[in-house]
Amino acid sequence: MKVLIVDDETDVRRVARLCLSRVGRMDVFDAATGTEAVGLAFLERPDAILLDVMMPEMDGPSTLAALRANPVTAAIPVIFLTAKSLASEIERLQSLGVAGVLTKPFDPMAFAGQVRALVPGC
């Protein structure tokens, strides 16, 4: 399974990459911005994208819209990562048509399993 992690925080990307590659045995690459993520998703065609909601310049929902607007990336499952854990916020994010929403901070030992459970066929 090939996963793109998108988060403006270097430490979040590093921890997520370690969890998914070592525990989940996934092929992982990352991006620090929404713009970078859209380009990488087009080139690499990941099986899933983990997308931070709150990023400067191009936030998660805007990045999701750009991914959905391109036929090459439109069907890639996206999982939002957010520090906001209010039920209303999670419902709002799920209504955007994502595969799921995971809250930060995440449990490193459970993270890969949570990602696999949200991505059909993986």
Tens-digit pLDDT profile for residues 13-55: 999 999 999 989 999 999 999 999 999 999 999 999 999 999 9
**The predicted structure's pLDDT at residue 86:** 84
- Specify the residue for token string 């992690």: 5
Q: Which residues pair with 3 in a beta bridge?
A: 28, 48
What share of the chain in percent tops pLDDT 90?
85
**The predicted structure's pLDDT at residue 85:** 80
CA-CA distance, 91 to 93, in Å (whole number)? Answer: 5
Tokens of 50: 């983990």
Asked if 34 and 63 count as a contact pair (C-beta separation under 8 A), the reply is yes
- DSSP, res 49: E
Asked if 1 and 116 count as a contact pair (C-beta separation under 8 A), the reply is yes
Domains parsed from the chain with CATH numbers: 2-118 (3.40.50.2300)
What's the whole-number mean pLDDT along residues 78-99? 91
**The predicted structure's pLDDT at residue 102:** 95
φ, ψ (nearest 5 deg) of residue 50: -100, 120
